């Protein structure tokens, strides 16, 4: 583990100093972390406008709002300003390909920040979440209500003094929000229209999403989405588990592509530790991530086609998925919840026939995908249902915080695998499919094409899969081999240290992101130097997508809303965490 001293990496520091002397300061960021500035809450709104509009900054995409309660940090890390809460805004500039973290701290007595919804519309739900779980108040927020928990909930669950097991009774009245979508323009509207509840128990909402539509005939005039039906407290749970014990929880975020979550999390912790994983582990992670991406797109397209009435494709696509499951099961013993990544490598090596098996699979998968392509891509009904519905312009997609296939379907070629390559993606030859229409058909087709590109990456990975170990030999992170434990004193000590205390991650903070199947999957991790994470905040790619759903469906039909929801590919596990 090397110890390079933290330095500031903010590129526009002089401009910032000139404009906001003293009110916004660049901060030193740790190893692998994104550049950071810290801002006075009073100037936050001005700084935000500057960051969005100034030619030297142009941070147009708000990725995440991570909040933290700093009251239980060890004495030497306690904030000197004595402010208990802090919000971190993670920004990205699509023009300058740069990330930035903006921190603003607020005291316990008056935990309030100006709302940035008017600067980045994507902030809306992120701020609601921060209020719900951490109790940070956002002034001028248009709709500051509970989001993930129910209305019968008391307190703010992610505060450190909130006890993890404390539940509150939720009755039917607590989830029924009568003002949902009741906002109508005129009195006549109210007379002419009707309100329709959609979900959470509806086949097209996958059991966990809810929207309320205000209908005029069959046209939606207002809509409101609601989530939280699968809020199972990942972030709170991870605070009471060791770094390795968090890995199984990450599998259950996006359960359609669990491997990508686990790899992203492991990489974030590895960056904090400064651990390099061996080339074979990196290649296997890439190959299996790409297989997971294919699986995720398969489920998305299969489920969506079922929703719009094309059941046959479901059997084709699920057959392909079943084949991939076989491979995953051979690698790690589980079909769905793989827990394959480890901090410092993988849980074990891939089976001997991995390369041949994967090659065979690729042929099989491609066949099924081509079959569906022939069935659907030029099918008249599918075209009618998907073309021109659920439109999102390029500007809106950025403002609403889209990433991943949905952003690329609106004409923005942002893909972390190309823009911020990790795990050696820069050495693979592949293309990023981009479409410009921003409708459901584009989202469908971008996914179809991405599966083919993933197959290309896998082929290259297989043809040059390096041999060697799959785990780092840093025994402060990875369990030493058994012979060493039994025969050497040192090995025994490492083993016991790891088992009893867990991996000791140096104090610090990181934002590390991975290209998930749905978009940018980011982990903000704060460590207090102990064996358990102090705070983990996930940046779920689905979250801004579902937040925008209520805006996308207005003006369309109810049946278009179903198609739109399916192709946004909302996975409740990572939406609600």
Q: Which residues bind other proteins (CB under 8 A)?
A: 148-150, 152-154, 157, 162-175, 200-203, 206-208, 228-233, 236-237, 240, 248-249, 252, 255-256, 299, 303, 314-315, 318-319, 321-322, 325, 335-337, 572-573
**Local structure of 498: helix, strand or coil:** helix
- We find the least distance from the C-beta atom of residue 249 to ligand SF4, in angstroms, to be 9
Q: Which does 167 bind (CB under 5 to 8 A by kind): other proteins, ligand SF4, none?
A: other proteins
- We find the least distance from the C-beta atom of residue 148 to ligand SF4, in angstroms, to be 17
Q: Which does 20 bind (CB under 5 to 8 A by kind): ligand SF4, other proteins, none?
A: none
Q: How many CB atoms lie within 10 A of CB 377?
A: 14
Extract the tokens encoding 562.
């179903």
- We find the least distance from the C-beta atom of residue 202 to other proteins, in angstroms, to be 8
Closer of 77 and 337 to ligand SF4 (Cβ): 337
- Site residues for ligand SF4, window 323-352 (CB under 6 A)? 337
CA–CA distances in Å: residue 106 to residues 51, 126, 134, 343: 21, 17, 12, 34
Extract the tokens encoding 12.
């526009």
Judged by CB under 6 A, does residue 245 bind ligand SF4?
A: no
Closer of 16 and 521 to other proteins (Cβ): 521
Extract the tokens encoding 248.
């199984």
Q: Which does 138 bind (CB under 5 to 8 A by kind): other proteins, ligand SF4, none?
A: none
Binding residues for ligand SF4, how many (CB under 6 A)?
Answer: 2
Q: Which residue is it, tokens 């209305």?
A: 151
Extract the tokens encoding 477.
């992170």
DSSP annotation of 508 reads E
Tallying the residues shown for the chain, one arrives at 577
Closer of 259 and 434 to other proteins (Cβ): 259
Q: Which does 452 bind (CB under 5 to 8 A by kind): other proteins, ligand SF4, none?
A: none
- We find the least distance from the C-beta atom of residue 234 to ligand SF4, in angstroms, to be 11
**Local structure of 522: helix, strand or coil:** strand
Enumerate residues 6+ apart whose C-beta is below 8 A from 260.
Answer: 254, 289, 292, 293, 296, 514, 515, 516, 517, 521
Closer of 262 and 345 to ligand SF4 (Cβ): 262
Closer of 149 and 208 to ligand SF4 (Cβ): 208
- We find the least distance from the C-beta atom of residue 173 to other proteins, in angstroms, to be 8
Q: Which does 236 bind (CB under 5 to 8 A by kind): ligand SF4, other proteins, none?
A: other proteins
Strand partners, 364: none
Closer of 337 and 559 to ligand SF4 (Cβ): 337
How far apart are the C-alpha atoms of 500 and 233, rounded to whole Å? 25
**Local structure of 299: helix, strand or coil:** helix
How far apart are the C-alpha atoms of 234 and 228, rounded to whole Å? 12
Adjacency order of strands within the sheet including 520-527: 508-515, 520-527, 535-539
Closer of 250 and 410 to other proteins (Cβ): 250
Closer of 246 and 283 to ligand SF4 (Cβ): 246
Q: How many CB atoms lie within 10 A of CB 383?
A: 13
- We find the least distance from the C-beta atom of residue 549 to ligand SF4, in angstroms, to be 23
Q: Which does 233 bind (CB under 5 to 8 A by kind): other proteins, ligand SF4, none?
A: other proteins
Closer of 316 and 354 to other proteins (Cβ): 316
- We find the least distance from the C-beta atom of residue 260 to ligand SF4, in angstroms, to be 17
Q: Which does 325 bind (CB under 5 to 8 A by kind): ligand SF4, other proteins, none?
A: other proteins
Q: What is the largest CA-CA distance in the chain?
A: 84
> H-helix or E-strand containing 437?
none
Closer of 68 and 247 to ligand SF4 (Cβ): 247
Q: How many CB atoms lie within 10 A of CB 293?
A: 27
Enumerate residues 6+ apart whose C-beta is below 8 A from 405.
Answer: 297, 443, 446, 447, 450, 517, 518, 519, 569
Q: Which does 291 bind (CB under 5 to 8 A by kind): other proteins, ligand SF4, none?
A: none
Interface residue with ligand SF4, options 70, 84, 128, 252 (CB under 6 A)? 252
x/- track of binding to ligand SF4 for residues 41-60 (CB under 6 A)? --------------------
Extract the tokens encoding 538.
């996930």
Long-range contacts of 151-154 (CB under 8 A, 24+ apart): 151/175, 151/177
CB-facing half-sphere around the CA of 295: CA atoms within 13 A:
24
Q: How many CB atoms lie within 10 A of CB 552?
A: 25
Residues in contact with ligand SF4 by CB under 6 A are 252, 337
């Amino acid at each position: 583990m090397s110890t390079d001293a933290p330095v500031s990496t903010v590129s526009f520091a002089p401009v910032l100093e000139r404009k906001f002397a003293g009110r916004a300061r660049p901060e030193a960021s740790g190893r692998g972390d994104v550049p950071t500035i810290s801002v006075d809450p009073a100037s936050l709104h001005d700084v935000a406008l500057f960051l969005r509009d100034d030619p030297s900054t142009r941070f147009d995409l708000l990725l995440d709002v991570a909040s933290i309660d700093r009251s239980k940090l060890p004495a030497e890390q306690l904030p000197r300003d004595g402010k208990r809460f802090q919000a971190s805004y993670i920004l990205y500039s699509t023009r300058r390909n740069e990330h930035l973290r903006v921190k603003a701290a607020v005291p316990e007595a008056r935990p309030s920040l100006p709302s940035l919804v008017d600067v980045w519309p994507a902030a809306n739900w992120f701020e609601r979440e921060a209020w719900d779980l951490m109790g940070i108040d956002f002034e001028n927020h248009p709709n500051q209500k509970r989001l993930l928990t129910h209305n019968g909930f008391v307190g703010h669950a992610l505060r450190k003094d909130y006890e993890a097991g404390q539940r509150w009774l939720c009755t039917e009245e607590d989830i029924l929000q009568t003002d949902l979508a009741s906002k109508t323009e005129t009195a006549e509207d109210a007379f002419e229209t009707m309100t329709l509840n959609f979900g959470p128990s509806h086949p097209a909402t996958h059991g966990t999403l809810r929207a309320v539509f205000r209908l005029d005939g069959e046209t939606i005039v207002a809509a409101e989405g609601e989530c939280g039906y699968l809020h199972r407290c990942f972030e709170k749970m991870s605070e009471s588990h060791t770094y390795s014990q968090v890995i199984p929880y990450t599998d259950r975020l996006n359960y359609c592509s669990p491997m990508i979550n686990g790899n992203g999390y492991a990489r974030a912790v590895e960056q904090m530790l400064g651990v390099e994983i061996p080339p074979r582990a990196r290649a296997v992670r890439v190959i299996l991530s790409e297989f997971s991406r294919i699986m995720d797109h398969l489920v998305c397209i299969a489920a969506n086609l079922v929703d719009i009435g094309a059941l046959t494709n479901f059997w084709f696509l699920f057959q392909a998925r079943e084949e991939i499951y076989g491979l995953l099961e051979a690698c790690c013993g589980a079909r769905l919840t793989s827990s394959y990544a480890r901090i410092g490598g993988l849980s074990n090596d891939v089976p001997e026939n991995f390369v041949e098996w994967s090659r065979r699979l690729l042929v099989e998968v491609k066949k099924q995908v081509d079959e569906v392509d022939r069935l659907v891509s030029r099918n008249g009904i599918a075209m009618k249902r998907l073309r021109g519905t659920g439109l999102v312009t390029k500007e809106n997609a950025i403002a609403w915080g889209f990433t991943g296939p949905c952003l690329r379907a609106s004409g923005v070629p942002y893909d972390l695998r190309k823009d911020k390559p990790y795990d050696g993606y820069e050495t693979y030859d592949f293309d990023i499919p981009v479409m410009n229409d921003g409708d459901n058909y584009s989202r469908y087709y971008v996914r179809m094409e991405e599966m083919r590109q993933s197959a290309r990456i896998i082929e290259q990975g297989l043809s040059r899969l390096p041999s060697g170990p799959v785990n780092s030999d840093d025994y402060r992170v990875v369990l030493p081999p058994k012979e060493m434990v039994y025969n050497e004193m040192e090995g025994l000590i490492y083993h016991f240290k790891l088992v009893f205390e867990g991996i000791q991650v140096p104090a610090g903070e990181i934002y590390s992101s991975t290209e998930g199947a749905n978009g940018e999957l980011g982990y903000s991790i704060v460590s207090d130097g102990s064996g358990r994470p102090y705070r983990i905040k996930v940046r779920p790619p689905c979250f801004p997508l579902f937040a925008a759903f209520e805006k996308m469906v207005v003006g369309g039909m109810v049946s278009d809303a179903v198609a739109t929801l399916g192709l946004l590919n909302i996975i409740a596990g990572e939406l609600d965490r």
